[in-house]
């Protein structure tokens, strides 16, 4: 998966660099401090300057980079912020609470392959809260050229995916740390705008995003890491630190002696109810198959990503729920490809299964789509009656080893009915597997010409 040996070596190198830098930093800090006092002296305020060094602390620790242009840019930026601090501090009285005004600049670095990243952390305290002026720099070590986040993106849609991943991880971070960041602030801080992600670091396992307190409406910054495995298909390969597609495979041997059943859900992703279903799957060691409609994918990206990451199977239900047999080849291809690309952008994996809307398929559809056609053996008619008990009954009364059940996760009654059925069937020795898990457990090979309605023993 990852190049661990090389990174350890790099780490040692970084550790050495940092200790060298620390020594230099003391020197630089002293230089700046002298400079600061010097300014005070020329002010000629009879030794009673309000910016007496006793009331001001300045600490500056800048990286030594192998890139002169970036080094200079960082130095100039820190200088400009430092003089802003000095200008302000000059006008301030002796701090009443005994806490010195202070200005701090420090940094962190991280690298992936030839790409180096530096996050400069600048804080300035002039009596009322600490202001942050962080800035990140990314550049190619070989060419020296600076790189923007946008340059690292795979496609035009990537920033949207990056934004929804950022939302998910920041939201998680906020809850985990009981930060109570307002949802609108999380949305604002992670909206698909490159400026939102001005502070990033390329770490070993993922991109670290540092959100400033004023982005979040709280006192502290927040640092969240999006794993590179989540960014496959979103960032260009050279920025993924060797991350590979996860196959999210379960150990299937535990299901060998069980009766098997596939719960499949069409017409989603369905947001709230899809998430309710997923919240309950672990109880039954269950995974399901979602056949999603392409036109809905971008509205439910985080739900779809969660579904995939949880180990459920994602198949296509076409882009616009079309009757595929009625389309010409070009239209058919577009329905298939648009959907597959949208799904891959979110999950990192291209689907191989399709549930043709209305169960309408033929040889031309199979050949042109190149996907395996999954139909069903138990139709719950959940969309019609919208009754959780009828959904549950349709499943439990007709269940058999190898069955494929058709439902729709856009209805709460369907999700509730499915969960009732799971509870009952689990007591009868059923295991709930995805379509491809069922195929594997039954020792079957995929065949493009077939219509799969069940996997009987």
| Residue 357 CB, nearest approach to Zn ion (Å) | 5
405 Cβ contact partners less than 8 Å away, ≥ 6 residues apart: 261, 262, 263, 264, 376, 377, 378, 380, 395, 399, 418
CB atoms within 10 A of CB 389: 12
| Residue 358 CB, nearest approach to Zn ion (Å) | 7
Interface stretch with Zn ion, choices 31-39, 120-128, 260-268, 364-372 (CB under 5 A): 260-268
Residue with Cβ nearer Zn ion (266 or 313): 266
- Tell me the two tokens of residue 242: 């060797």
Residue with Cβ nearer Zn ion (208 or 409): 409
Site map 301..340 versus Zn ion, x via CB under 5 A: ----------------------------------------
CA angle 413, 416, 421 (to 5 degrees): 120
| Number of residues forming the site for Zn ion (CB under 5 A) | 3
Give burial (CB, 10 Å; 0-12/13-18/19+) of 9: exposed
| Residue 104 CB, nearest approach to Zn ion (Å) | 58
CB atoms within 10 A of CB 13: 11
| Residue 307 CB, nearest approach to Zn ion (Å) | 17
Q: Which of 267, 335, 409, 436 binds Zn ion (CB under 5 A)?
A: 267
Interface stretch with Zn ion, choices 188-196, 259-267, 375-383, 386-394 (CB under 5 A): 259-267
Residue with Cβ nearer Zn ion (267 or 409): 267
By annotation, the residues acting in catalysis are: 266, 408
Residue with Cβ nearer Zn ion (110 or 357): 357
**Residue 250 in contact with residue 309, Cβ under 8 Å?**
no
Q: Which of 61, 266, 416, 436 binds Zn ion (CB under 5 A)?
A: 266
Which of 240, 332, 341, 254 lies closest to 294, judged by CA? 341
343 Cβ contact partners less than 8 Å away, ≥ 6 residues apart: 292, 294, 297, 304, 314, 316, 349, 350, 351
Residue with Cβ nearer Zn ion (233 or 269): 269
| Residue 342 CB, nearest approach to Zn ion (Å) | 17
Interface of this chain with Zn ion, residues 167 to 196, rule: CB under 5 A:
none
Q: What is the dihedral of CA 430, 436, 437, 443, to 10 degrees?
A: 100
Cβ-closest residue to Zn ion?
266
Q: Does 382 bind Zn ion (CB under 5 A)?
A: no
**Residue 336 in contact with residue 376, Cβ under 8 Å?**
no
Residue keyed to tokens 């959907």: 339
| Residue 325 CB, nearest approach to Zn ion (Å) | 15
Interface stretch with Zn ion, choices 38-46, 83-91, 117-125, 356-364 (CB under 5 A): 356-364
Binding residues for Zn ion (CB under 5 A)? 266-267, 357
């Amino acid at each position: 998966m990852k190049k661990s040996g090389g990174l350890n070596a790099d780490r040692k190198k970084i550790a050495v660099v940092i200790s060298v830098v620390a020594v230099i930093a003391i020197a630089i800090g002293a230089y700046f401090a002298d400079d600061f006092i010097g300014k005070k002296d020329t002010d000629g305020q009879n030794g009673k300057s309000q910016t007496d060094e006793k009331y001001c602390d300045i600490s500056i620790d800048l990286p030594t980079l192998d890139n002169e242009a970036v080094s200079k840019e960082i130095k100039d930026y820190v200088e400009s912020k430092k003089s802003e601090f000095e200008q302000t501090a000059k006008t301030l009285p002796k701090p009443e609470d005994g806490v010195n005004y202070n200005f701090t600049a420090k940094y962190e670095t991280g690298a992936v392959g030839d790409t180096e990243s530096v996050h400069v952390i600048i804080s300035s305290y002039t009596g009322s809260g600490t202001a942050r002026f962080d800035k990140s720099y990314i550049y190619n070590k070989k060419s020296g050229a600076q790189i923007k986040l946008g340059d690292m993106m795979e496609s035009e849609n990537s920033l949207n995916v990056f934004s929804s991943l950022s939302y998910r991880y920041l939201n998680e971070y906020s809850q985990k740390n009981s930060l109570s960041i307002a949802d609108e602030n999380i949305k604002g801080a992670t909206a698909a705008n490159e400026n939102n992600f001005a502070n990033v670091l390329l770490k070993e396992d993922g991109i670290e995003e540092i959100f400033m307190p004023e982005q979040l409406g709280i006192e502290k910054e927040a640092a969240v890491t999006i794993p590179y495995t989540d960014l496959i298909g979103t960032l260009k390969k050279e920025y993924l630190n060797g991350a590979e597609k996860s196959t999210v495979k379960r150990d299937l041997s535990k299901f060998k002696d069980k009766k098997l059943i596939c719960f499949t859900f069409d017409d989603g992703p369905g947001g709230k109810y899809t998430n309710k279903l997923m919240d309950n799957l672990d109880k039954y060691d269950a995974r399901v198959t979602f056949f999603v409609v392409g036109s809905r994918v971008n509205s439910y990206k985080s739900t779809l990503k969660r579904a995939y990451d949880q180990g459920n199977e994602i198949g296509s239900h076409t882009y616009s729920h079309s009757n595929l047999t009625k389309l010409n080849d070009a239209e058919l291809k577009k329905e298939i490809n648009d959907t597959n690309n949208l799904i891959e952008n979110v999950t990192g994996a291209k689907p191989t299964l399709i549930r043709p809307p209305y169960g309408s398929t033929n040889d031309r559809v199979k050949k042109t789509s190149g996907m395996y056609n999954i139909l069903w053996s138990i139709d719950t008619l959940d969309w019609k009656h919208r009754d959780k008990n009828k959904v549950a009954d349709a499943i439990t009364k007709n269940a058999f080893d190898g069955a494929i059940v058709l439902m729709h996760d856009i209805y709460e009654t369907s999700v509730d009915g499915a969960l009732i059925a799971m509870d009952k069937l689990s007591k009868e020795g059923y295991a709930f597997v995805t379509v491809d898990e069922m195929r594997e457990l039954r020792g079957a090979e995929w065949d493009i010409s077939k219509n799969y309605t069940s996997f009987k023993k």
